[in-house]
Structure 1
Amino acid sequence: MKTISFKEILLYFIVLISISSFAQNKSDRELILIDKDWRFSLGHLYDTQKDFGHAEGYFSYLTKTGFGDGPAAKDFDDRAWRKLDLPHDWAVEQDFSEKASYSHGFKTSGKDFPEKSIGWYRKKISIPQSDQGKIISLKFDGVFRNSKVFFNGHFLGTEESGYNGFEYDVTAYVNYGGENTIVVRADASMEEGWFYEGAEIYRHVYLLKTNPIHIARNGTYVTSEIQNDNAEVKAEVTIENKGNFKGKIEISQTIIDASGKEVATITENASAPDFYKTAKITSKIKVNNPLLWDIDTPNLYRLLTQIKQEGKIVDSYETTFGIRTIKFDPEKGFFLNGKSIKLKGTNNHQDHAGIGTALPDELQYYRIKKLKEMGSNAYRCSHHPPTPELLDACDKLGILVIDETRLMGINDYHLNDLKRLIERDRNHPSIFCWSVGNEEWNIEGGIVGERITNIMQGFAKSLDATRPVTVGISSGFKSGISSVVEIMGYNYMGNGDIDAHRNEFKNQPGMGTEEGSTFATRGIYFTDDAKHYQSAYDKKPRPTFYSIEEGWKFYAARPYLAGMFIWTGFDYRGEPTPYGWPSVTSYFGMMDVCGFPKDNVFYLKSWWGTAPVLHIMPHWNWSGMEGKEIDVWVHSNCDEVELFLNKKSLGKKKMEQYGHLEWKVKYTPGTLEAIGYKNGKKILTEIQKTTGNAENIKLSVDKENPSNANVSVITVEVTDKNGLHIPTANNEISFSIKGGKILGVGNGDPTSLEKDQFIDDVTLVPITNFEEKKQAYVDNTNQSALDESNAWKEAFKDRDYKNQASAYIYRGKFELKNNLQSNSVDFFYKKIGVNESVFINGNLVNANADDPQKYHLNKAVLKEGSNVITIRTSPLQKVKDWDVMNTDPGIIRVITPSEPWKRKLFNGYAQIIIQKEEGGNDVVLSAFAKGLKAGVLSVNQKKKIKLSSEL
């Protein structure tokens, strides 16, 4: 099997960027990633004052155009807000609480935590004068959830679902040649799923610039038919005209292979569509001797579509696609390019240790590579449209995909979501099936489910007739949806009689869309319900459900079943069945939330893969259990395996197909060795040794995510004096980094309540009891106002702006809590006058040199508890009677430094995810623990990894 190296992927992107840049230099299209340098702050679900005064204005953003208020206003002062890059998940940053949502991993966000259910994001961008005449749009790949977007104070729209991509045209609102403000308010108070979903702008955001005549959003649809040794590629292009041009246009279509070579081209003439109308142009292009997309050789092509207007290229658009055939047969299963393929799949949510749902692109590749290494060839997006980069990874690495919409229904809410999913994703060769529903128990078995499925299935076919439709069904396989869906999706063979259903519907292909749902904790070999740890030996999760081995034997033995998708490939936050608090992650995964394999991975590698496999479980560190029997299992695809304890044979056993081997072994410290035989010859040896005491910390870059990526996944472990990994280690490891930053930490422990991220806490402290007193002149030396109690009144109340005093003294209070010595405190002044002077507890403070409206408050002038701020200033004057004058003096920001990054090992392992600094040379990660030699890992610019240990 051919595997794609990271260098090949990198080369592909370099070629792609080069061609894109060349095309964009000749056209008006420009797609700019704007993930960097956003400002963020939590708001409030229902208290408008705590939500920065949003929606308090007399005219709201829904009443009058451009009246976004609070943070939605263009000139809102966000200097005190936290600065961050996207993607971002604020839920994963929160603490755990038994009062929080079981489904969302007990993180303190959502409707029960109104102060942590609203997130505000703001970003300023410059758009040059030269962009006038272009169409300017904002493109969001996904915001969780119920987002409102504003641009320069103008309300653009609401997107309820957290899983849909969306775009807004901002052309009419742009300040050309100047600064523009993007604002997003995300409301994550309501759960859309029953699993961890995060809370955030967790996918990429782009600024898109195009000519008024351009390819529409998701405006290409590429299909192919293979005839003998050739392929006919059909390219349907939707052209949109947001300008006044009327006349002829020329559309050229060029197919480019992975090496950058043009393999075919065609040109079509057409008339430009009318103003704000679209037109479709279809071209047929012949490709000789195409390289087919396959799970072993995922060959990709690119379609370069260009629009010419009066001889000038005005738009260039690229579409990645693959040439391949798919077919389901009700008797023989699934075929890819005419070859029978048994689907060996997993279900997964987008959630990773330390990161939450805001996965960097490199982590998408890391996770897909982990599944591919396990022998998996298919992936079900459960249960919502995926991040685009996940599909890119599946395209490039060779994984088949079931793409799934979020909710069944027949109205605009449901069908428009399905339409957006299909139109966005239908060019991905990895996608072989659309799923329009999952376990809709209220409707599965009745006429309502049947009607909805017929409508959604027909609607999907109208958008893409090249792929079949499925639904995952779990409440019996007899009627309703089961009787009409094109590809039957069986969710758990314990929920019904699959063979009986097949015998009744012999013309309906089927596959196991969910199977297994087993419980296991990595590195645990004795179930301990008190500690919420489940043994890693494969077993039935419930009396009517089946183990992974039982499930695979069932599906492998039935040619009419296309294959099965295990629940799940990775653990995820939430759904900690069979437990509750303090378990915060699921137990279903073949791998834990970090991607560290549980023992079932080696069962699947044995029978899903082609390479020889030999794996012994459990480890051999059982101090205190000397003489007691230990169940020893061997996962292997060898013909026979012989087991030895301290060089004494415990017998040779033959391997049953799709099975495993077992021995009862009385524990004695030393060496447990397995030897695997093929055709009577020794081909593999595997050893489990009793280790010594922990002495060294070992850091290594995971081979699935090479060090030359911008984001790297680092494995943390400890070894004994002989360098042996210690599988029972639980040391707490602290980390420091130079030349980069840490994104998150994890260890796979389902009951760990440790922090995922260690970030400085930013608290915004309001100024309260704000009062004023007239003063004849501004006196910057007289501080007697602090001691006076008379003549003060509520600031700005009933102010007569036509008859103001020449100067005012304002005073208010703010509260500071503990950790005063380590905190950093700043006052961000919002102009309520001119020639201001600011005093803290009677002490004059000076403005920062780089920002005359920012005051750093030295610890010497502050005190724990109540503090008094005094501002002396000359008043602002109204120019027009209807001018709205600022009455907010500003905000106090308190930054409390985080603890050092740290994580306990769990059964020998932890994981840390790091990101290089832009333009940096070396990233140096150091790890420390009491009584152990520190580990140091250095990744330099030349992509060489250096490892060392130091005291």
Structure 2
Amino acid sequence: MVVVHLVCWVGVVNAETIADEAVRKKQLLNKEWLFTKDTSKAAWQKIGLPHCWNIADVMDDAPGYYRGAGWYKRILPTVEKGKKQFIYFDGANQETTVWINGKKTGYHAGGYTRFSFDITAALKESGSNEILVKVDNSYNPAIPPLTADFTFFGGLYRNVYLVSTDAVHIDMNNYASNGVYIKTPEVSKQKAVVEVQGSFVNETAETRKLQVETTVYDSTGKVVTRTLSKQTAQPHTTFDFHHKGLTISNPALWSPEHPALYTITTRLYNARTHEVLDEVHNTAGMRWFSFSADSGFYINGTPCKLIGASRHQDYEGMGNGVPAAIQVKDVEMIKSMGCNFLRVAHYPQDPVILETCDRLGLLASVEIPVVNTISTTDSFTNNCLQMQTEMIRQNFNHPSVVIWAYMNEVFLRPPFKDSTINKRAYDSSVTALARKLEALTRKEDPTRYTMIANHGDFRRYDTTQLTTIPMIVGWNLYNGWYNSVMEDFSAFMDKHHRELPGKPVIISEYGADADPRIRSFKPERFDKSVEYTTLFHQYYLCEMVKRPFVAGAAVWNLADFNSETREETMPHMNNKGLLTYNRIAKDPYYYYKAALVNTPFVKIASSYWWQRSGIADTDTATVCTQPLEVATNLTETELFINGKSLGKVAAVKNMCSWKAAFVNGDNIIRAVGVKEGVVCEDTLVVQFRVQPRSLQSPSVPFTQLNLQMGSRRTYLDEQTGEVWLPDQPYKPGAWGYTGGTIFNVKNGRQAYGTDKAISGTDNDPIYQTQQTGIEKYRLDAPKGNYLLTLHFAELQGENAVALPYNLDTSVQQPTFQNRIFDVAVNGKPILENLDIAAQYGRATAVVQAFRVTVTGNEGIELLFKAKSGQPILNALQLKKLN
């Protein structure tokens, strides 16, 4: 068994909220900016920060999005004479150049770490000062990430602020860190020893006699310990200080359950006048931790299974320009779910993320964006090393951080042709870069752990030593989603423990897409249903809990996020989130909460599915019976629908299930559980449309029917509230198709349909399935006037290569065959010589609507006549008109 013991570190608070204005002035510069993409035109627009220019173009039907330069300018606030002035950027993607009054003052490469410039020399002593910032998110082979399953949003998308200091100040030129580093070489329940070190700069022409003071305060503001040192600083020099031996007796230990924080203040004094020249505040957490290859993770000597999620930073309608309050809410939702771990992926994020982790008690892993592939150039390597240094120094003091990571799935799609020589050269380059990043990380911070996250090609990563170089191996596993079956996940974990017995392991990613609009009573792989994804997470969590050697796991992902190149049921989105893009919880979120929280919890899991539809149980019935689930950590719960109890059901894997009889209209659902005399309950109102089993049924009058051809799932159009049901073969008195087969892609990963994006619609799933070779469609509708709407999309296409993120092989689609056909309704032609591909294009939504009158018992019958190829139908709507 390998166990490495680490000491604790401390966290940086937002200096803007705590700094003494008389000592160090920090001004937020988020307002009064002008922005343009084209400086040759007078097209500057007023904007505020955070700002992102890729919001609309990453969601449209056109492939690609703007990757180029964006320009920002504003007038700086009046600055105090005699002070040093520094401009700080919390993040800009991805190359940033700054000019002050036309003078170039700085350049930074990398879109996710902070950076700063000394702008003092460029400022005018009188009059206004203009700052001009060029941000460029163009592809650059020297700057990671090169490719990834997320969008490289452009913009000045985090805070910008101006910091004014005395000419004698804490070092401001240390990778945009706060210049003070705090560690605790010894922590126990009885005692914690604190060390504080950093640098100060004397930028005057005089020798200065200074005092450096470190003070530790507890959570109540009481001074716990203090030390003072004296130093003589020569003109224009940088000098170091190191305070050792600060002791705290019986410290309040930091842990996920009790995230106790101390405040450590470092002050620089004029030794003669005792004037405070500069000061920095940090928060500190006293704790120690370790990882074991046999028994997992420990904090303060106590075993602790790390369970949490990864997080991307973008948000619906904002791209990466997300306000701090929303980012804090993300971390709060992870904590509320019962988690204790956040994988900050795949890049360092806004400072408020780790600040909130410190405050709430979430342990964290942070990584640089070396994703999918690398460039084998010196410039790429140097930028990686620069980013790793920036990440560590900027986040060095956070007690939440326990892991520094630096690669993710770098062998997923290597950029070489099928050449053994090229493959070996690339593999050697990856290994060499990993060794350099590992050595740098160990030197910068010899106490935290290191990790590389690998996809499931065990042998490839093992033979290239990426399983031996880092201290922890992370595996991104999607067994039962992208490949194979769920049970292979358990086998993979056991293989790691068997073949790498001395290496701690974290399941750094796992998940399955859940389009919240798609539901299924018979969930299956790649149907994108919430039900399949819930089953997936139940299996994975239970299997990891069984294995103590698995130190932790991070669900991929906390929330749905933008990935412009994706197609699938919701184009441009990765739907593996436990939350939607605008942070509405899906069923799996409630499953985790039921499995992880300690306080009594009952939640109707289908809360997002509050608009439902289904076919009546019998020809004369007025109800439709469907499954309904409740997530809970109680042993049993009772369910009521419209005041009637459906009985108590024992929880299985934190879920209870009933068959609920829904009536037309509003249905009041109530779930109740009791623990130790305390009642815990949840309610939900479900709007249900009962469809008559027979269209002639007097019990349930027919009004509207929405049907998906070739589908086995239910779909909700969120804009209209219409629920689309799977189609069926024709049944007398009802409806259905005659002839044809369900469309599916040859060698495709899903059992039916396609996940190719459909142009001209936001309801892609309606068009992604079809009945191919259909001969007839009949609806035995009673007499009356109807609106009949037919939906088509040509799904045939050329061979397509799977995108890298899919972790599977090439997907072959059928060779395109010309398709021309006619459609008639009750013997009357309504569409003639319909050639969808020629007239509308492939993978494009086509809608044809017709008024139909039924005068007797003839119903509505559609006949499809092939002229070339096979007729198709993707979806059908029938609505009775008044």
Task: Please give the range of the TM-score, normalised by the shorter of the 2 chains.
Answer: 0.5 to 0.7
What is the aligned counterpart of 1:196 among 129, 142, 151? 151
- The reply to whether residue 369 of structure 1 matches residue 350 of structure 2 is no
- The reply to whether residue 109 of structure 1 matches residue 70 of structure 2 is no
For 2:684 and 2:514, locate their aligned partners in 1 and report how far apart those are by CA, in whole Å: 20
For 2:760 and 2:262, locate their aligned partners in 1 and report how far apart those are by CA, in whole Å: 46
Conserved 8 A contact 1:89-1:356: yes
1:627-638 to structure 2, matched below 5 A, reads 627=617, 629-638=625-634
- Counterpart of 1:211? 166
What is the aligned counterpart of 2:548 among 546, 556, 559? 559
Q: 1:275 to 1:538 in 2, by over 3 A?
A: same
Structure 1: unaligned runs, 5 residues or longer:
1-11, 44-50, 54-77, 102-107, 111-116, 541-545, 694-726, 733-749, 756-951
- Counterpart of 2:19? 20
Q: Give the aligned residue type for 1:285.
A: L
Conserved 8 A contact 2:612-2:688: no
- Counterpart of 2:697? none
Question: Shift in Å at residue 649 of structure 1?
Answer: 5.6
Conserved 8 A contact 2:610-2:685: yes
Conserved 8 A contact 1:254-1:303: yes
What is the aligned counterpart of 2:76 among 107, 125, 137? 125
Conserved 8 A contact 1:626-1:666: no
Q: Give the aligned residue type for 1:121.
A: Y
What is the aligned counterpart of 1:267 among 204, 228, 231? 228
Q: 1:616 to 1:266 in 2, by over 3 A?
A: same
Conserved 8 A contact 2:227-2:243: no
For 1:382 and 1:506, locate their aligned partners in 2 and report how far apart those are by CA, in whole Å: 27
2:76 alignment partner, SS class: strand
Percent identity, please: 25
2:263 alignment partner, SS class: strand
Question: Shift in Å at residue 579 of structure 1?
Answer: 0.6
For 2:363 and 2:151, locate their aligned partners in 1 and report how far apart those are by CA, in whole Å: 24
Q: Give the aligned residue type for 1:633.
A: E
1:485-634 to structure 2, matched below 5 A, reads 485-492=470-477, 494=479, 497-516=492-511, 518-522=512-516, 524-526=518-520, 534-539=528-533, 547-574=536-563, 579=568, 583-618=571-606, 619=609, 621-627=611-617, 629-634=625-630
**Deviations for 1:462-516, whole angstroms, at most 9, x for unmatched residues?**
1112210011111423412012320111111638822122122222111111112
Question: Shift in Å at residue 324 of structure 1?
Answer: 1.6
For 1:752 and 1:171, locate their aligned partners in 2 and report how far apart those are by CA, in whole Å: 52
Question: Shift in Å at residue 175 of structure 1?
Answer: 0.2
**Alignment RMSD:** 3.4
For 2:434 and 2:69, locate their aligned partners in 1 and report how far apart those are by CA, in whole Å: 35
Conserved 8 A contact 2:265-2:279: yes
1:324-403 to structure 2, matched below 5 A, reads 324-403=287-366
1:591 alignment partner, SS class: coil
1:396 alignment partner, SS class: helix
2:475 alignment partner, SS class: strand
Q: 1:623 to 1:567 in 2, by over 3 A?
A: closer
For 2:761 and 2:121, locate their aligned partners in 1 and report how far apart those are by CA, in whole Å: 48
What is the aligned counterpart of 2:102 among 153, 160, 170? 153
Q: Give the aligned residue type for 2:537.
A: I
Question: Shift in Å at residue 754 of structure 1?
Answer: 11
Conserved 8 A contact 2:86-2:120: yes
Q: 1:388 to 1:400 in 2, by over 3 A?
A: same
Structure 2: unaligned runs, 5 residues or longer:
1-11, 415-422, 480-488, 618-623, 690-715, 722-756, 763-882
Question: Shift in Å at residue 406 of structure 1?
Answer: 1.7
Conserved 8 A contact 1:640-1:653: yes
Conserved 8 A contact 2:314-2:322: yes
For 2:280 and 2:628, locate their aligned partners in 1 and report how far apart those are by CA, in whole Å: 57
For 2:88 and 2:579, locate their aligned partners in 1 and report how far apart those are by CA, in whole Å: 34
What is the aligned counterpart of 1:655 among 648, 651, 654? 651
Q: Give the aligned residue type for 1:477.
A: F
- Counterpart of 1:436? 406
**Matched pairs, number:** 632
Question: Shift in Å at residue 352 of structure 1?
Answer: 1.1
Conserved 8 A contact 2:251-2:286: yes
**Deviations for 1:602-631, whole angstroms, at most 9, x for unmatched residues?**
110111111222233445654452215523
Q: Give the aligned residue type for 1:200.
A: G
Q: 1:364 to 1:413 in 2, by over 3 A?
A: same
Conserved 8 A contact 1:626-1:667: no
- The reply to whether residue 238 of structure 1 matches residue 235 of structure 2 is no
Question: Shift in Å at residue 648 of structure 1?
Answer: 5.7
- Counterpart of 1:99? 62
For 1:151 and 1:501, locate their aligned partners in 2 and report how far apart those are by CA, in whole Å: 54
Q: 1:504 to 1:533 in 2, by over 3 A?
A: closer
For 2:758 and 2:579, locate their aligned partners in 1 and report how far apart those are by CA, in whole Å: 16
Larger CA deviation: 87-96 vs 32-41: 87-96
1:737-756 to structure 2, matched below 5 A, reads none
Conserved 8 A contact 2:563-2:574: yes
Conserved 8 A contact 2:19-2:25: no
Q: 1:95 to 1:248 in 2, by over 3 A?
A: closer
**Deviations for 1:708-747, whole angstroms, at most 9, x for unmatched residues?**
xxxxxxxxxxxxxxxxxxx987469xxxxxxxxxxxxxxx
For 1:165 and 1:354, locate their aligned partners in 2 and report how far apart those are by CA, in whole Å: 24
- Counterpart of 1:251? 212
2:439 alignment partner, SS class: helix
Q: 1:510 to 1:692 in 2, by over 3 A?
A: closer
Conserved 8 A contact 1:612-1:637: yes
2:129 alignment partner, SS class: strand
Question: Shift in Å at residue 552 of structure 1?
Answer: 0.5
Conserved 8 A contact 2:579-2:586: yes
- Counterpart of 1:416? 386
- Counterpart of 1:470? 451
For 1:92 and 1:18, locate their aligned partners in 2 and report how far apart those are by CA, in whole Å: 31
For 1:168 and 1:587, locate their aligned partners in 2 and report how far apart those are by CA, in whole Å: 39
- Counterpart of 2:190? 229
Q: 1:142 to 1:502 in 2, by over 3 A?
A: same
Question: Shift in Å at residue 305 of structure 1?
Answer: 1.1
Question: Shift in Å at residue 246 of structure 1?
Answer: 3.2
**Deviations for 1:87-110, whole angstroms, at most 9, x for unmatched residues?**
111212557432233xxxxxx422
- Counterpart of 1:913? none
**Deviations for 1:807-830, whole angstroms, at most 9, x for unmatched residues?**
xxxxxxxxxxxxxxxxxxxxxxxx
Conserved 8 A contact 2:61-2:760: no
- Counterpart of 1:303? 264
Conserved 8 A contact 2:566-2:572: no
Conserved 8 A contact 1:602-1:613: no
1:143 alignment partner, SS class: coil
For 1:282 and 1:268, locate their aligned partners in 2 and report how far apart those are by CA, in whole Å: 8
- Counterpart of 2:750? none
For 1:18 and 1:614, locate their aligned partners in 2 and report how far apart those are by CA, in whole Å: 38
Question: Shift in Å at residue 19 of structure 1?
Answer: 5.5
1:307 alignment partner, SS class: strand
1:497 alignment partner, SS class: helix
Q: Give the aligned residue type for 1:676.
A: G
- Counterpart of 1:803? none
Q: 1:392 to 1:383 in 2, by over 3 A?
A: same
Conserved 8 A contact 2:195-2:242: no
For 1:336 and 1:537, locate their aligned partners in 2 and report how far apart those are by CA, in whole Å: 35
For 2:759 and 2:558, locate their aligned partners in 1 and report how far apart those are by CA, in whole Å: 20
1:10-49 to structure 2, matched below 5 A, reads 20-21=19-20, 24-25=21-22, 27=23, 29-43=24-38
1:549 alignment partner, SS class: helix
**Deviations for 1:753-781, whole angstroms, at most 9, x for unmatched residues?**
999xxxxxxxxxxxxxxxxxxxxxxxxxx
1:76-91 to structure 2, matched below 5 A, reads 81-91=44-54
